[in-house]
Amino acid sequence: MLTKKQKLIYDFIREYVEKNGISPSLDEIAEHFSEFLAYPSSAHYHVKKLQEEGLLEKETNRPRSIALYDDKTIKSPVLTQKGMDAVRIPILGAANAGPATLFAEENIQGYLKISRSQLPRTEGVFALRVIGDSMNKAKINGKNIEEGDYVLIDSTNNDADNNDYVLSVIDGCANLKKLKKNEEEGVVLMSESTNLKHKPIFVSSYDDFMINGKIFDIIKK
């Protein structure tokens, strides 16, 4: 549900785009609603809420990149485009394919348009951009996981099997690895790389560890 302020801001953005052919900047939104938006950061907060409601998208970090969806309000985190066999998958940042050193922050940075036929389901699916080369020999659907690619994650699949490719989070840091489980070593996160510097990550009981989903496809850069 939108608040009254968010509804006013959404209507202003839509009218501005229809009139000018471009979206307003955060400064212009804050100036227009100066009676209740004192700073551009306040405008950013409400714009982000509209993005979460599926009414706006921001595909890049450049100015005036706020875009309107043609659809009406869509509550799902995966946004279906009417009349097309495609859905928009949210990009929730990046994950390194090397040591677990990149924090996993669920900030929507944009969307990928994916054919519905590529998806096992729509709910609970998101994308991450790959950083690093520790999985460049790993193949999913005949495609290698290379730096700059996007991996598609099924977050509903947290009970991964041995040898599955997974997104794991260790002490708040996201990484992409092959899962190995055995009685002797417990849980081991394996690299598959042409770069021999990447070593296995052995997960201990002292680690804050969880599997956040299974990698099921790769979108090449």
Task: State pLDDT tens for residues 18-71.
Answer: 787 677 888 888 888 888 876 777 888 888 888 877 777 755 444 566 766 544
The pLDDT score that the predictor gives to residue 58 is 58
Of residues 92, 163, 151, 152, the one with CA closest to residue 120: 152
Residues of the chain with CATH 2.10.109.10: 79-219
Q: How far apart are the first and last CA of the chain?
A: 35
Assess whether pLDDT exceeds 80 at residue 128: yes
Q: Are strands 86-96 and 125-131 parallel, antiparallel or unpaired?
A: parallel
Average the pLDDT over 149-162 and give the result. Answer: 87
Asked whether 213 and 158 are in contact (CB, 8 A), the reply is yes
Measured CA distances, 153 to 15, 74, 139 (Å): 36, 21, 15
Residues of the chain with CATH 1.10.10.10: 4-68
Asked whether 170 and 103 are in contact (CB, 8 A), the reply is no
Average the pLDDT over 142-159 and give the result. Answer: 89
pLDDT band at 104 (very low <50, low <70, confident <90, very high): low
The CATH number of domain 79-219, selected from 2.10.109.10, 3.90.226.10, 3.20.20.70, 3.50.50.60: 2.10.109.10
State percent of the chain over pLDDT 90.
Answer: 27
Least confident range of 44-48, 67-71, 88-92, 144-148 = 67-71
Assess whether pLDDT exceeds 60 at residue 133: yes
Assess whether pLDDT exceeds 70 at residue 75: no
The pTM (predicted TM-score) of the whole model is 0.62
The dotted CATH code for 4-68 is: 1.10.10.10
